[in-house]
A and B are shown apart, each in its own frame.
Chain A
């Protein structure tokens, strides 16, 4: 394949997923500028290794896996948060989040009805990376467990447990946010 034809083929297959790639980058980096840089880096890497892509398979999941790797490498280079499974630390985190004031007085339905999109984003951003990515991939990007396992390079069982804990943590983070909002409203 000529170099121009190869690039056109790549753009046809991969660039249609740009919105999703950017969105995942945004949820991982939590920063728009970094997300744009990461999306570009992802496409450049993917293009370089385009011959390794099997045309019959899911291109979006392939791009997500490349994106995740690029992001982790970047984090390591910059000495930032890397999702090592420090169970102790994660447990502390989970306990901390659970240790807030008791369950809201308002019933569950009421609580969730009032939640705005921005609060969902804010709650998600409080989650450690491994849970954040599991929730985003499953519930926002609607990937299957098998795809998530491939993207994150972990067994299906791990996907299941990370997702289950991730959703629990998300709920607690949401509750905390709503409680903060309610508290502020009462002060006014």
Chain B
């Protein structure tokens, strides 16, 4: 074995991954070649360093529970338990028109999976110190950051008249589709605005809302207020622990911004 050959398989020799004959040949070469002995020691030192000193972080305690919960929901599947109603009600919008107000209220008692998933995302990100991937209070900068990252135009509304300031944005996933996630805050409260393609998703509608605004579906899930609606090809969701009135005000702002950008007839 030449020096060059040995250097090519130095790591594998160290890892005990060479077959017997190569390993013997390597040892034989190492026995008399000082240069290669030095290279071997150097390689071993790095390997030992990584093995002994690299911090092996364990999973956060809450992650195991979160995964168990997700597995339990997956095991139940769409046929059993609360989500079932929504799979049936996800029928054409025309069918929904026929459903009485009372049924609408009953549906509300069990938020659809999409809503729960969005609330879970909001809850998770509100626990983090720096949840945004792009941190900027500039609407243009945040909108620009999403260009090329998601396949739709991201409208970044201004909620500052309500004292809610833009923190930034990040990418998220929802049932395997891309979500543009905008983060705002008022005081210590995170306000999440999600935008994602609505096609093929079982989304709740505001129809039949008693005394409310029929454009928006509203619900309170795990202590968070949720407002969801569909506009054009996209669905929007606002989630926050702020009161419902403030959130509906934000929803109206987004609605008007998106409406002003969508070309007529599109």
Query: Is the pair B66, A40 in contact by a Cβ cutoff of 8 Å?
Result: yes
**Those of B1-53 within 8 Å (CB) of chain A:** 8-12, 15, 17, 42-43, 45-47, 49-51, 53
- Interface contact tally, CB-CB below 8 A: 122
CB within 8 Å for A6 and B75 given contacts A33-B124, A108-B45, A160-B9: yes
Distance (Å) between the CB of A80 and the closest chain B CB? 8
Confirm or deny: A4 has a beta carbon within 8 angstroms of a beta carbon on chain B. yes
Q: In whole angstroms, how far apart are the Cα atoms of A170 and B53 in the complex? A: 14
From A15, A74, A116, A164, contact of B173 by CB (8 A):
A74
Query: Is the pair A15, B15 in contact by a Cβ cutoff of 8 Å?
Result: no
Interface flags, B124-168, vs A, CB<8A=1, else 0: 110010010000000000000000110000000000000000000
Q: Which one of A83-91, A93-101, A132-140, A178-186 is at the interface? A: A132-140
Confirm or deny: A47 has a beta carbon within 8 angstroms of a beta carbon on chain B. yes
Q: Which one of B55-63, B226-234, B246-254 is at the interface? A: B55-63
Interface flags, B68-96, vs A, CB<8A=1, else 0: 10111011110000000000000000000
Q: Which residues of A contact B11 (CB under 8 A)?
A: 160, 163-164, 167
How many chain-B residues does the 8 Å CB contact rule pick out?
A: 44
Chain A interface extent, by class? 35 or more
A to B CB contacts below 8 Å, 17 in the list: A3-B77, A18-B59, A18-B63, A21-B59, A33-B124, A36-B63, A44-B71, A108-B42, A109-B45, A112-B46, A112-B49, A117-B53, A120-B54, A140-B50, A140-B54, A144-B17, A163-B11
Query: Is the pair B54, A164 in contact by a Cβ cutoff of 8 Å?
Result: no
Q: Which residues of A contact B50 (CB under 8 A)?
A: 120, 135, 139-140, 170
Interface flags, A16-50, vs B, CB<8A=1, else 0: 00110111001000001100110111011001100
Q: Which residues of A contact B70 (CB under 8 A)?
A: 40, 43-44
Q: In whole angstroms, how far apart are the Cα atoms of A15 and B65 in the complex? A: 10
Confirm or deny: B123 has a beta carbon within 8 angstroms of a beta carbon on chain A. no
Confirm or deny: A58 has a beta carbon within 8 angstroms of a beta carbon on chain B. no
Confirm or deny: B264 has a beta carbon within 8 angstroms of a beta carbon on chain A. no
Interface flags, A146-163, vs B, CB<8A=1, else 0: 000000000000001001
Main secondary structure of the interface of B (DSSP, over half): helix
Q: Which residues of A contact B56 (CB under 8 A)?
A: 19, 23, 140
Q: Which residues of A contact B49 (CB under 8 A)?
A: 112, 115, 120
User: Which B residue's beta carbon lies closest to that of A22?
Assistant: B59
Q: In whole angstroms, how far apart are the Cα atoms of A55 and B52 in the complex? A: 31
Confirm or deny: A145 has a beta carbon within 8 angstroms of a beta carbon on chain B. yes
Distance (Å) between the CB of A112 and the closest chain B CB? 5
Confirm or deny: A126 has a beta carbon within 8 angstroms of a beta carbon on chain B. no
Query: Is the pair A145, B15 in contact by a Cβ cutoff of 8 Å?
Result: yes
Q: Which residues of A contact B8 (CB under 8 A)?
A: 164
Task: Apart from A7-B72, A115-B49, A145-B17, list 10 A-B contacts with CB within 8 A.
Answer: A22-B60, A39-B59, A41-B173, A79-B149, A115-B53, A138-B15, A160-B17, A163-B11, A167-B46, A170-B50
Confirm or deny: B221 has a beta carbon within 8 angstroms of a beta carbon on chain A. no
Confirm or deny: A188 has a beta carbon within 8 angstroms of a beta carbon on chain B. no
Confirm or deny: A92 has a beta carbon within 8 angstroms of a beta carbon on chain B. no
Distance (Å) between the CB of B195 and the closest chain A CB? 15
Q: In whole angstroms, how far apart are the Cα atoms of A107 and B51 in the complex? A: 21
From B43, B58, B75, B125, contact of A33 by CB (8 A):
B125
Confirm or deny: B171 has a beta carbon within 8 angstroms of a beta carbon on chain A. yes
Q: In whole angstroms, how far apart are the Cα atoms of A40 and B75 in the complex? A: 14
Confirm or deny: B178 has a beta carbon within 8 angstroms of a beta carbon on chain A. yes
